[in-house]
Structure 1
Amino acid sequence: MTERYCNILAAVDGSPQAHQALMEAVEAARRNNARLYIAQVINSSGLLLNRATPIAQIIEEEKKAALKLLEEEVAGVDYYNKQMITCVGSPKKALCFDLPEVYKIDLIYIGATGKGKLERMLVGSTTDYVVNNAPCDVMVVR
């Protein structure tokens, strides 16, 4: 485990566990004087369900909703060195590989659960995937 973290990623999805993970990530960023990245990944696999609407329009609407959620989450965060990130793709891949590589993440905070029970069974847990595949330390928050 790294003694000092420089770049911390907090994954948010609107769930209570993700919010708690964000609050703990803020405290870890303060303790380490680290850069805090707050990310929401728009799951691209669910975007193709509505085929009557052009995909570009769907992505734009999802990005606006994601940015609104991020702004709501960050509204209570009193930390100077933070950056909000929204991206489209596989949450598992983005949180585990893409974002850590681009932003040199050395610690990921993620909620223990975020989806409903049925969806977790069908798709698999993003948290489980990140814990088992991330290239850096992962803190799971309940």
Structure 2
Amino acid sequence: MKAEVSIMLDQRYLNILIPVDGSKEAELALDKAIAVTLRNGNNAHLHILHVIDTRAFQNVSSFDTSMVEEVSETAKKTLDSYVEKAKTAGITNVSYTIEYGSPKAIIAKEAPKAVNADLIMIGATGLNTVERILIGSVTEYVTRVADIDVLVVRTK
């Protein structure tokens, strides 16, 4: 029993994935992910992920590629500011990715494999009860399906 406890105390998360969507919940999770990355030492890597849900464009009748480019450019500016925030806090190993597709599948399965993540830190859902029932919470899905540890951030 004592050996098991010491192994758990020595565990470090070296590849932390933080999905962000511009919400207050995601920014709160980013702040905590920065702190966790710093606590896990110089070898820890913070990987920031933004997923552009392409399904949102399927219902737009006047869809054109400039819409996707505009959304991508806005995401890039936001992610650049997040990287700068992490660097200012003292993180040297920080990067970001913009992906396109279903946020649930990408955050829970694809991105963790791509970046060799050992922890996903994700903000609690901003959806109300009806929205969660109708479309489902990304956070809920990730906590249920991911193969690695998931930490749901709810508080400051």
The answer to whether the superposition gives a TM-score over 0.5 is yes
Higher-Rg structure is 2
Q: Secondary structure at the match of 1:114?
A: coil
Distance 2:54 2:151 in 1: 25
Mapping 1:112-131, distance limit 5 Å? 112-115=124-127, 118-131=130-143
TM-score by length of 2: 0.81
Stretch deviating more after TM superposition (64-73 or 20-29): 64-73
Q: Is 1:53 aligned to residue 63 of structure 2?
A: yes
How far 1:49 sits from its partner (Å)? 2.2
How far 1:117 sits from its partner (Å)? 5.1
Stretch deviating more after TM superposition (72-81 or 83-92): 72-81
Q: Secondary structure at the match of 1:59?
A: helix
How far 1:115 sits from its partner (Å)? 4.0
How far 1:97 sits from its partner (Å)? 0.7
- The 1:15–1:57 alpha-carbon spacing in structure 2 relative to 1, beyond 3 Å, is same
> What amino acid is the match of 1:136?
I
1:109 to 121, 127, 152: 121
Distance 2:15 2:28 in 1: 18
State the identity as a percent: 39
For CA contacts below 8 A with separation 6 or more, give which structure has more relative contact order. Answer: 1
Unaligned runs of 5+ in 1: none
In the alignment of these two chains, the number of paired residues is 141
Unaligned runs of 5+ in 2: 1-7
Stretch deviating more after TM superposition (104-113 or 41-50): 41-50
Q: Is 1:37 aligned to residue 47 of structure 2?
A: yes
RMSD of Structure 2 on Structure 1 (CA): 1.8
- The 1:125–1:30 alpha-carbon spacing in structure 2 relative to 1, beyond 3 Å, is same
* Partner residue, 2:3: none
2:15 to 3, 7, 14: 7
Report if the CA contact (8 A) 2:104-2:142 is conserved: yes
How far 1:38 sits from its partner (Å)? 0.7
Report if the CA contact (8 A) 1:6-1:106 is conserved: yes
Distance 1:94 1:126 in 2: 10
Q: Secondary structure at the match of 2:117?
A: coil
- The 1:134–1:66 alpha-carbon spacing in structure 2 relative to 1, beyond 3 Å, is same
- The 1:109–1:129 alpha-carbon spacing in structure 2 relative to 1, beyond 3 Å, is same
